[in-house]
Every structure is written in C-alpha cells, then in structure tokens.
Amino acid sequence: MSNGSNQVYLVTGSNSGNSQNYLKKAILLIERIKNTKILTTSSIYQSKSYGQIKQRDFLNQAIHIETKLTPYELLEEVLSIENDLGRIRKERWGPRTIDIDIIFYGDEKISTPNLTIPHYDWKNRDFFVAGLKEIRCPYIEGNGLSLKNVKKLV
C-alpha cells in the first residue's frame, strides 16, 4: 500500500457460537475492506469475560492493519462486519458473536460519543494487551500488566 496509509491495531473477540470460526470470518471480511491490508495477526487468546455479566470465556485476537480509510470510515466497516456476523447489542459487555474494537489508529486521539481512540480502557484489559504485545504494537511497550487473565491457545 502506498503513502497516505495509517497503521491501525484492532482486537476481535467472540464468546457465542463457534468463537474460533467467528474470529476467522472476521479476518476474511477485514481483508475485503477497501484500501485496507492486514499486516499481521496475533495468536488467539482465551480470557474471562469483562464486566458483571456471567458468561463463557472470550476468544480474542489482535490484528495490525494498514488503511487509507479515515477512523470513521473504518468504524463503519467494522460495525458492518459485526452486523454481518450476527452481532446483537442487547446489553453492555454481554455475550457476542463478534466484537471488533479499534484500539489504536496511528497517533490519533479521538473522543466522540461513537468513537474513542485510543480505546478508552485498553490498558486495563489483559486480553487486548496480550495480542498487541505479540504483534509488537509500539503503543503498549512498557505496560506492566501481568497478563495473568489470558491463556494463549495453540
């Protein structure tokens, strides 16, 4: 991809149905986003659910992409992928077929009702940090999390 591209880090998550299959389908659909290229993906990590709702463990994966889309265009694309993969938004932090979070978009700092970059709580979520560390995301170096709440799946 030529100049004008942005380095972006996403994290996908799933804990409904065949979670590994949903993560694979998300990758295939992200690869189809116009003016966007996947550079690398992390292993899949298993983590306890986040929040107060009792539910099964999540599978998560970090993805490094390069895109010419704006942050808002990318948000539209990932929301469309979530919709295509059956994401239903009933309750905050509830079970889901797929969740795609934009964690970092270059050095951008955005704070709107629909989009916050960097992700507002990335430092406190071991399942974000584990995958991002693996793919050498430059924004997380030196983070002191123990990563005790995640398990790398082989």
Which pair of structure tokens corresponds to residue 117? 């970059």
Q: Which one from 32, 84, 87, 121 is the annotated catalytic residue?
A: 87
Instruction: Select 6-153's CATH number: 1.10.357.10, 3.50.50.60, 3.40.50.720, 3.30.70.560.
Output: 3.30.70.560
- Residue position matching structure tokens 């994401």: 87
**Separation between Cα atoms, residue 115 and residue 128, nearest integer Å:** 17
Average pLDDT, the chain: 85
The reply to whether 107 belongs to the active site is no
Residue 34 and residue 119 in contact, taking contact as beta carbons nearer than 8 Å: no
Catalytic residue (choose from 99, 121, 125, 126): 99
d(CA 76, CA 134): 27
Please confirm, yes or no, whether 101 is among the known catalytic residues: yes
Which among 96, 107, 121, 136 is annotated as catalytic? 96
In this prediction, residue 140 carries a pLDDT of 81
pLDDT-based confidence at 77, cuts 50/70/90?
very high
Say which amino acid occupies 127. F
Residue 67 predicted with pLDDT over 80: yes
How far is Cα 45 from Cα 15, in angstroms, rounded to an integer?
12
CA angle 14, 17, 23 (to 5 degrees): 40
Q: What is the pLDDT of residues 10-60, one digit of tens each?
A: 999 999 889 999 999 999 999 999 999 999 999 999 988 766 767 788 899
pLDDT at 118: 86
Catalytic residue among 56, 57, 101, 121: 101
7, 40, 65, 140, 148 from 10: Cα distances, Å:
10, 11, 8, 13, 21
Residues 49-58: pLDDT tens digits?
766 767 788 8
- Is there a catalytic annotation at residue 96? yes
- Boundaries of every domain in the chain: 6-153
